[in-house]
Amino acid sequence: MPASDAADLIACPDCGALYRRAAVAPGEKARCRRCGRMLYRGARLNAERLPALVCAALIVLLIANSAPIVDLRVQGISNSATLAGSIRALWADGRPLVAALVAATTLAFPLLDLCALGAAVLLLRRDPACNAAARLLRVLQAVRPWGMVEVFMLGVLVALVKLSHMAEIRPGVALWAFAALTVLLAAILSYDLRGLWESRPVAPHPPPPEAAPLVPCHVCGLVGAPAPHCPRCGAPVHARKPASLARTWAFLLAGAILYIPANVLPIMRTSSLGGVESDTIMSGIVYFWTSGSPDLAALIFFVSIFIPLAKIGSLTMLLFTVGRGSPRGKRRRTALYRILAFVGRWSMLDVFVVALMVGLVRFGALAAIDAGPGAAAFGAVVVLTMIAAHDFDPRLLWDSEAPHD
């Protein structure tokens, strides 16, 4: 296909197939015929409404991080926990890595996401060619996968169920604020950022040869001839992610090594008048199962044991099949990769449960909960496997097959 006709093309991020963009109604989806990836969908949310939603989300985020999440009462003694208080408690317990991870995924990255989106929309309204807006959108796309407010909300619910067996619980204002924030963020994330990228003009550049291969920008999706930088967003352009296999292997092996101490070392320690009790991830699952909450036990087993192990095993299989150039089951392997990339973030559930319980259960000699070394190891496993999945380029699975024209 001539490169000069590439203005209305879209490339599948998972297999590299090229398609001409077609109009779709709101809510309808355009999918890749070859691998099944959703390419884009008709927008239900107008870009004009984004600033209002962003402002509302910022206000709710401020409330969620300043007000108490829950109030806990034990034998007439009460204690309330805020997200900031839980982070400070983790830091004071000598778990700075866990504290930094919780602060980044529940506060810093969501805040940066909302601020970058709101500023980019306003700048693009004033000047579509604004370079600052392009930089903000690139920052936004980099931090968006790391905001985990919805996972934290689920962690809060799990912690409350566990604590309800030992104390009286009263929901705080921040609990409802986090619920509202989850809904608002879901609405904001439903907007395809490609619409903002397409509002930017493409910088003038020399016309490529007619026979030049077409390469999509991995940031804004612009399809064009190979160039050092994208003429629309300024990001470096690569036919495939640089050193994809080597980087994926490195992060995956590091995550696999840490998976052992993450499940062997205690993730939480409970001190009370009866002594000190250490809990691993598996002992927490057993606790929920024997205390009459098999559904929560199954949930924690799935997100904390099964998902990390399945992710490590599945990514290893994908790396081996790419290395061997296996031609079979490409569509199934690509679908498996999409599932792994989606579910990996939910493994942070246990880290958030520990963070909230550390902030809540602070009753001196009567009862106290501290984070164990397993929490830091498990958080590192989640981060490393997420980076490994991000660095893996699924288009390598399809390189032995000619691209669609």
Query: The tokens of 383 are what?
Result: 């981060």
Residue pair 245/319 in contact by the 8 Å Cβ criterion: yes
Domain boundaries, the chain: 1-42+202-238, 43-201+240-398
Provide the residue count of the chain: 405
- Can you give the pLDDT at residue 391? 93
Question: Is residue 350 within 8 Å of 378, Cβ to Cβ?
Answer: yes
Give the integer Cα–Cα distance in Å for 386 and 343: 9
Name the nearest CA neighbour of 284 among 273, 303, 302, 297: 297
Measure the CA–CA gap between 164 and 161, rounded to whole angstroms. 5
pLDDT for 403 equals: 46
Q: Tell me the three state secondary structure of residue 45.
A: coil
Coil, strand or helix at 202: coil
Residue 106: C-alpha distances to residues 87, 102, 156, 182, 221 (Å): 10, 6, 12, 11, 28
- Owner of token pair 């496997």: 385
pLDDT along the chain (405 residues), means of 10: 60 90 84 90 79 94 90 75 87 89 94 94 89 91 92 88 77 91 91 84 65 81 85 87 93 95 88 71 84 82 90 93 84 92 89 85 66 90 94 88 47
For residues 157 and 150, is the Cβ–Cβ distance under 8 A? no
One-letter amino acid identity for 79? Answer: N
DSSP conformational letter for 205: -
